[in-house]
Chain A
Protein backbone atom coordinates (compact mmCIF):
# COMPACT_ATOMS: atom_id res chain seq x y z
CA UNK A 1 0.00 0.00 0.00
CA UNK A 2 1.30 3.44 -0.94
CA UNK A 3 1.75 5.86 1.94
CA UNK A 4 3.02 9.41 2.16
CA UNK A 5 3.20 10.58 5.76
CA UNK A 6 4.01 14.22 6.45
CA UNK A 7 5.33 15.48 9.76
CA UNK A 8 6.95 18.57 11.23
CA UNK A 9 4.08 21.03 11.05
CA UNK A 10 3.13 23.26 13.93
CA UNK A 11 3.01 26.80 15.25
CA UNK A 12 5.97 29.07 14.50
CA UNK A 13 6.54 32.80 14.92
CA UNK A 14 6.99 35.09 11.93
CA UNK A 15 10.60 35.00 10.80
CA UNK A 16 11.06 31.52 12.21
CA UNK A 17 11.98 28.24 10.57
CA UNK A 18 10.43 24.80 10.26
CA UNK A 19 11.37 21.60 8.46
CA UNK A 20 8.70 19.35 7.05
CA UNK A 21 9.33 15.69 6.33
CA UNK A 22 7.42 13.22 4.18
CA UNK A 23 8.08 9.51 4.64
CA UNK A 24 7.20 7.46 1.58
CA UNK A 25 6.47 3.74 1.31
CA UNK A 26 4.85 1.28 -1.07
CA UNK A 27 6.47 2.55 -4.28
CA UNK A 28 9.93 3.09 -5.74
CA UNK A 29 10.50 6.53 -4.24
CA UNK A 30 13.66 7.35 -6.19
CA UNK A 31 11.87 6.85 -9.51
CA UNK A 32 9.52 9.78 -9.08
CA UNK A 33 9.70 13.52 -8.89
CA UNK A 34 8.11 14.78 -5.70
CA UNK A 35 6.41 18.02 -4.77
CA UNK A 36 4.99 20.10 -1.97
CA UNK A 37 1.59 21.70 -2.46
CA UNK A 38 -0.06 23.95 0.11
CA UNK A 39 -3.55 25.17 0.84
CA UNK A 40 -4.21 28.19 3.01
CA UNK A 41 -7.37 28.02 5.15
CA UNK A 42 -10.41 28.31 2.91
CA UNK A 43 -8.27 28.88 -0.20
CA UNK A 44 -7.23 26.95 -3.27
CA UNK A 45 -4.27 24.73 -3.98
CA UNK A 46 -0.86 26.35 -4.47
CA UNK A 47 2.10 24.43 -5.83
CA UNK A 48 5.18 25.23 -3.74
CA UNK A 49 8.16 23.22 -4.95
CA UNK A 50 9.28 20.06 -6.73
CA UNK A 51 12.41 17.93 -6.96
CA UNK A 52 13.48 15.35 -9.52
CA UNK A 53 13.82 11.68 -8.65
CA UNK A 54 17.58 11.93 -8.31
CA UNK A 55 17.40 15.20 -6.40
CA UNK A 56 19.54 16.92 -8.99
CA UNK A 57 16.89 19.40 -10.11
CA UNK A 58 14.72 21.59 -7.92
CA UNK A 59 11.94 24.05 -8.71
CA UNK A 60 10.14 26.69 -6.65
CA UNK A 61 7.16 28.98 -6.77
CA UNK A 62 8.14 32.65 -6.80
CA UNK A 63 6.34 33.10 -3.47
CA UNK A 64 8.85 30.85 -1.65
CA UNK A 65 12.00 31.15 -3.76
CA UNK A 66 15.00 32.01 -1.61
CA UNK A 67 13.21 31.08 1.62
CA UNK A 68 12.26 27.41 1.16
CA UNK A 69 14.54 24.51 0.19
CA UNK A 70 13.32 21.16 -1.03
CA UNK A 71 15.49 18.06 -0.71
CA UNK A 72 15.20 14.30 -0.58
CA UNK A 73 17.06 11.32 0.85
CA UNK A 74 16.37 8.37 -1.40
CA UNK A 75 18.14 6.01 1.01
CA UNK A 76 15.51 6.90 3.60
CA UNK A 77 12.58 7.32 1.16
CA UNK A 78 12.02 10.76 2.64
CA UNK A 79 11.21 14.18 1.18
CA UNK A 80 11.94 17.40 3.05
CA UNK A 81 10.95 21.05 2.94
CA UNK A 82 13.12 23.48 4.89
CA UNK A 83 11.14 26.66 5.45
CA UNK A 84 12.96 29.80 6.62
CA UNK A 85 11.88 33.40 7.13
CA UNK A 86 8.30 32.29 7.55
CA UNK A 87 5.48 34.76 7.06
CA UNK A 88 1.84 34.80 8.10
CA UNK A 89 0.88 34.10 4.48
CA UNK A 90 2.76 30.78 4.64
CA UNK A 91 0.07 29.47 7.01
CA UNK A 92 -1.44 26.47 5.25
CA UNK A 93 -1.83 22.73 5.13
CA UNK A 94 1.23 21.40 3.33
CA UNK A 95 0.78 18.29 1.22
CA UNK A 96 3.54 16.02 0.00
CA UNK A 97 2.74 14.47 -3.39
CA UNK A 98 4.28 12.75 -6.34
CA UNK A 99 4.73 15.34 -9.07
CA UNK A 100 2.77 14.84 -12.26
CA UNK A 101 5.11 15.20 -15.23
CA UNK A 102 4.94 14.70 -18.97
CA UNK A 103 6.44 11.26 -18.36
CA UNK A 104 4.99 10.01 -15.08
CA UNK A 105 1.34 10.15 -14.02
CA UNK A 106 1.48 8.86 -10.48
CA UNK A 107 -1.14 10.48 -8.21
CA UNK A 108 0.02 9.85 -4.65
CA UNK A 109 -0.76 12.43 -1.96
CA UNK A 110 -0.18 12.59 1.78
CA UNK A 111 -2.82 13.67 4.29
CA UNK A 112 -1.18 17.04 4.89
CA UNK A 113 0.43 18.79 7.83
CA UNK A 114 -0.67 22.19 9.16
CA UNK A 115 1.82 25.01 9.45
CA UNK A 116 0.66 28.08 11.35
CA UNK A 117 2.78 31.22 11.33
CA UNK A 118 1.64 33.55 14.08
CA UNK A 119 2.96 35.50 17.03
Chain B
Protein backbone atom coordinates (compact mmCIF):
# COMPACT_ATOMS: atom_id res chain seq x y z
CA UNK B 1 0.00 0.00 0.00
CA UNK B 2 1.12 3.57 -0.64
CA UNK B 3 1.72 5.56 2.54
CA UNK B 4 1.13 9.29 2.56
CA UNK B 5 3.13 11.17 5.20
CA UNK B 6 1.71 14.62 5.80
CA UNK B 7 3.39 17.40 7.76
CA UNK B 8 3.08 19.30 9.94
CA UNK B 9 0.21 17.81 11.95
CA UNK B 10 -0.59 21.23 13.38
CA UNK B 11 0.26 24.66 12.03
CA UNK B 12 -0.32 27.96 13.81
CA UNK B 13 -0.48 31.00 11.58
CA UNK B 14 -1.98 34.47 11.27
CA UNK B 15 -4.28 36.06 8.73
CA UNK B 16 -2.19 37.19 5.79
CA UNK B 17 0.54 34.58 6.31
CA UNK B 18 1.80 32.33 3.54
CA UNK B 19 1.65 28.69 4.65
CA UNK B 20 2.82 25.41 3.19
CA UNK B 21 1.65 21.87 3.91
CA UNK B 22 3.60 18.89 2.62
CA UNK B 23 2.67 15.32 1.73
CA UNK B 24 5.25 12.71 0.83
CA UNK B 25 4.29 9.49 -0.92
CA UNK B 26 6.11 6.25 -0.10
CA UNK B 27 6.47 5.53 -3.82
CA UNK B 28 5.83 7.26 -7.11
CA UNK B 29 2.21 8.30 -7.65
CA UNK B 30 2.92 10.50 -10.66
CA UNK B 31 0.71 13.54 -10.07
CA UNK B 32 -2.38 11.66 -8.89
CA UNK B 33 -2.94 13.58 -5.68
CA UNK B 34 -5.74 15.70 -4.30
CA UNK B 35 -5.95 18.18 -1.45
CA UNK B 36 -9.08 18.60 0.67
CA UNK B 37 -10.19 21.11 3.26
CA UNK B 38 -12.45 19.97 6.10
CA UNK B 39 -14.25 22.03 8.71
CA UNK B 40 -15.76 20.53 11.88
CA UNK B 41 -18.94 18.57 11.26
CA UNK B 42 -18.69 18.98 7.50
CA UNK B 43 -17.70 16.77 4.59
CA UNK B 44 -14.30 17.39 3.01
CA UNK B 45 -14.14 19.92 0.18
CA UNK B 46 -11.87 19.38 -2.82
CA UNK B 47 -9.33 22.15 -3.36
CA UNK B 48 -6.71 20.75 -5.73
CA UNK B 49 -6.64 17.66 -7.97
CA UNK B 50 -3.92 16.13 -10.13
CA UNK B 51 -1.38 17.76 -7.79
CA UNK B 52 -1.76 21.29 -9.14
CA UNK B 53 -5.17 21.79 -10.79
CA UNK B 54 -7.43 24.18 -8.93
CA UNK B 55 -10.98 22.94 -8.44
CA UNK B 56 -13.65 25.24 -9.83
CA UNK B 57 -14.74 27.91 -7.38
CA UNK B 58 -11.69 27.55 -5.11
CA UNK B 59 -9.86 30.84 -4.48
CA UNK B 60 -6.60 31.35 -6.37
CA UNK B 61 -4.68 31.81 -3.13
CA UNK B 62 -4.64 28.00 -2.96
CA UNK B 63 -2.06 26.25 -5.12
CA UNK B 64 -0.44 22.84 -5.38
CA UNK B 65 2.89 21.61 -6.64
CA UNK B 66 4.91 18.42 -6.89
CA UNK B 67 8.55 17.49 -6.91
CA UNK B 68 9.14 13.78 -7.24
CA UNK B 69 7.13 12.17 -4.48
CA UNK B 70 6.77 15.36 -2.41
CA UNK B 71 3.57 17.32 -2.81
CA UNK B 72 2.90 20.79 -1.47
CA UNK B 73 -0.25 22.79 -0.78
CA UNK B 74 0.38 26.51 -0.45
CA UNK B 75 -2.00 29.17 0.77
CA UNK B 76 -0.53 32.47 -0.35
CA UNK B 77 -2.33 34.79 2.08
CA UNK B 78 -4.39 33.19 4.83
CA UNK B 79 -7.95 34.34 5.23
CA UNK B 80 -10.15 33.76 8.30
CA UNK B 81 -12.17 31.14 6.40
CA UNK B 82 -9.03 29.05 5.77
CA UNK B 83 -8.59 27.86 9.33
CA UNK B 84 -9.53 24.20 9.00
CA UNK B 85 -7.97 20.76 8.63
CA UNK B 86 -6.31 19.79 5.35
CA UNK B 87 -5.79 16.32 3.92
CA UNK B 88 -3.93 14.94 0.95
CA UNK B 89 -5.19 11.84 -0.87
CA UNK B 90 -3.45 9.66 -3.45
CA UNK B 91 -5.59 8.02 -6.11
CA UNK B 92 -2.79 6.47 -8.16
CA UNK B 93 -3.69 2.99 -6.98
CA UNK B 94 -5.99 1.12 -4.65
CA UNK B 95 -6.20 1.14 -1.73
CA UNK B 96 -6.59 4.90 -1.92
CA UNK B 97 -4.86 6.54 1.02
CA UNK B 98 -5.09 9.83 2.88
CA UNK B 99 -2.45 11.74 4.76
CA UNK B 100 -2.90 12.09 8.51
CA UNK B 101 -4.17 15.68 8.22
CA UNK B 102 -2.88 19.14 9.10
CA UNK B 103 -4.87 21.31 11.47
CA UNK B 104 -4.37 24.96 10.61
CA UNK B 105 -4.94 27.07 13.70
CA UNK B 106 -5.08 30.78 14.36
CA UNK B 107 -1.94 32.05 16.07
Contacts from A to B (Cβ < 8 Å): 35, 37, 44-47, 50, 59-62, 95, 97, 99-102, 105, 107, 109-112
Given known A100-B91, A101-B91, contact A45–B98 (CB-CB < 8 A): yes
Given known A45-B87, A107-B55, A111-B43, contact A100–B49 (CB-CB < 8 A): yes
Asked whether, in the complex, the Cβ of B96 is within 8 Å of the Cβ of A99, the reply is yes
Given known A45-B44, A95-B43, A100-B89, contact A105–B50 (CB-CB < 8 A): yes
- Residues of chain B within 8 A of A62, CB atoms compared: 1, 95
- Residues of chain B within 8 A of A35, CB atoms compared: 96
Asked whether, in the complex, the Cβ of B43 is within 8 Å of the Cβ of A100, the reply is no
Contact residues, B1-53 vs A (CB, 8 A): 1, 32, 34, 36, 38, 43-46, 49-50, 53
- Residues of chain B within 8 A of A45, CB atoms compared: 36, 38, 44, 87, 89, 98, 101
Distance in Å from the Cβ of A114 to the closest Cβ of chain B? 11
Asked whether, in the complex, the Cβ of B43 is within 8 Å of the Cβ of A112, the reply is yes
Distance in Å from the Cβ of A35 to the closest Cβ of chain B? 7
A105 to B52, CA, bound (A): 13
A50 to B43, CA, bound (A): 17
Q: Does B92 contact A (CB under 8 A)?
A: yes
Asked whether, in the complex, the Cβ of B96 is within 8 Å of the Cβ of A44, the reply is no
Residue of B38, B46, B91, B92 touching A99 (CB-CB under 8 A): B91
Q: Does B97 contact A (CB under 8 A)?
A: yes
Given known A45-B87, A102-B92, contact A109–B43 (CB-CB < 8 A): yes
Distance in Å from the Cβ of B66 to the closest Cβ of chain A? 15
